[in-house]
Structures are given as C-alpha cells and as structure tokens.
Amino acid sequence: MEKQLSMEQVFQKLGDLKQFFVFGQKIVPLFKKIIDFMTDIVPLLENVNNSIQDTTSKMPKAAHQINSVTNATEIATSEILDIVDSMSADMTKIKNELEDMKNGFFNQRVALDKLINEYPSLNGRLEEFKSALVIDELESKVVGIEEIVKKIENDITNITISLQVQDITAQQLASVNHLIHSVQERLSSLLFDFNKTEGFQLPEIGEYDEKKHPFNPNARYDRNHQMQKVADELIQSNNKTSQEEIDKLFGK
C-alpha cells in the first residue's frame, strides 16, 4: 500500500517536472530574445552614457562662454557710451559756439543800424555794406546747423536707449546659464545612476547661487514701451486702490 502511494508521488513529481520542461521550452526563446535585446541595448546605453558624459563635461565651458559674451558686450557698451559722452560734450560746445555766432550777428546788425542812423549823409552806402555782409543768410545757416545739432542730440539719446539692450540681454543670458546649470545637474545625476557600481566620480558642478547671480527670465527689449504702459495703468489704479485690495490680490 505504501509502495503504491510512493509511486503515485513519483509519477506526480515526474508530471510536474514534465510541465516544468514544457514551460521551459516556451520560456527559453523569450529569455533568448531578452538576452539578444540586452546585447543590442548595452552598447547603445554605453553610447548614451558616453554622450551624456561628453555633454556634461562641455556644459561648464558653454556657461563660461556665455559669461564671456556678457562681459565682452558690457565692455563694448561702455566703450560706445564713452564715445556717446564725448559726442554729447562736442555737441554742447558746438551749440554754445552757434549761440555766440547768433549773438554776434545780432550785435553786428545793431551796430550797423546805429551807424546808419548816425550818418544819414552816407546816402545808403551803409545799407549796401550791411547787405554785403549777408548777415541774414549767415544767421539762417546757423539756425540750419542748430537743427542738425538737435537731430544729432536726438540720435545720441536714441543710441543711449538702445544700449539698455545690453542689460536686458545680460539677464537673458544669465537665465540661459541657469538653465544650463539645471540640465547639467540632471545629467550628472543620470551619469551617477549609470556608473554607480564602478565607483564613478561625478563631474564637479558648483551650486548656482541665484542670490549672487540674479536675473529676470522674462526680460525682453520692449522698444514700444508696452510694458511701461501696463506699469503706468497699474500705478494709476494703485493710487485709487487701497492697500487692503493689493494685499487681497497677494492673498495676505
């Protein structure tokens, strides 16, 4: 009886074993496919790893180059401002000279009129002399030059306004630098995940200190002063709005 029970158990185990082999036959091709996939994917992952390492190592250089661009444009802008200042000083001198000339013409005219009144016997010869001096013509030329000077001064003001773009682009570049830093941090973390079993050293990345390098990510060169119009409207309505309402807007 006991022998018969043992045999039944053996057959049952053999049945289990057979099922296992059948399952194995089904599963082995799947394992093979997984191994083939891994064989294909590992070099690809290594490529990705190398590429990330390469990109990450280049990022500090990119950030450094952006800083160099900012510094170079600041120096160039400063040089342009030097020239603009010098032009402004020259324009002031020219304006003063022109004013002196206009005063001179006025004085000449007054002196000649005085002579004409004092010596009527000269029978119009002084009028001829006065007309030969072409004072009116010269004076209108001076007025013309004054108009040109005014235009140059206006152009100088416009150059100064345009130079403010340096500050705006500096903030945009600082924003890009911040972005590069964030991407570098993320990639470094990926590199660490790829290489942690090999005692991999993370590339050095310093902390981006927003307190030391503040920027406005929304800075833009608004030559039409649309944002100024918004500011003016808000200030105007703020003069009518109570502090309580502003606090309410900020959820305080």
Partner 1 sequence: MALKFLVVDDSVTMRRIVANSLKSIGYDNFVEAADGKEALAKLNADDSINFVITDWNMPEVSGLELVKAIRSNEKTQSLPILMVTTRGLKEDILEALQAKVNNYIVKPFTPQILREKIEQILASS
- Torsion angle of the four alpha carbons 222, 225, 227, 232, in this order, in degrees rounded to the nearest 10: 160
Question: Measured from the CB of residue 191, what is the shortest distance to partner 1 in angstroms?
Answer: 31
Q: Shortest gap between Cβ of 142 and partner 1 (angstroms)?
A: 23
Cβ closest to partner 1, residue 88 vs residue 188: 88
Complex with partner 1: residue 138 or 156, whichever CB lies closer: 156
Least Å from the CB of residue 224 to partner 1 = 10
Residue closer to partner 1 (CB basis): 6 or 162 = 162
User: If we measure between CA atoms, which residue out of 216, 224, 223 comes closest to residue 172?
Assistant: 216
Nearer to partner 1, 50 or 154 (CB): 154
What dihedral do alpha carbons 13, 17, 23, 25 form, nearest 10°? -160
DSSP type of residue 120: G
Residue with tokens 């603009």: 84
Alpha-carbon gap, residue 91 to 150, rounded angstroms: 9
CB of 164 to partner 1, least distance (A): 4
Burial of 198 (0-12, 13-18, 19+ CB in 10 A): exposed
Contact 135, 105 (CB under 8 A): yes
CB of 159 to partner 1, least distance (A): 10
CB of 205 to partner 1, least distance (A): 20
In this structure, the number of other CB atoms found within 10 A of the CB of residue 71 comes to 11
Binding site for partner 1 (CB under 8 A): 74, 77-78, 81, 84-85, 88, 157, 160-168, 170-171, 211-216, 218-223, 225, 227-228, 230-231, 234-235, 238, 243, 246-247, 249-250
Select 193 or 207, whichever has its Cβ closest to partner 1: 207
Judged by CB, which is closer to partner 1: 80, or 112? 80
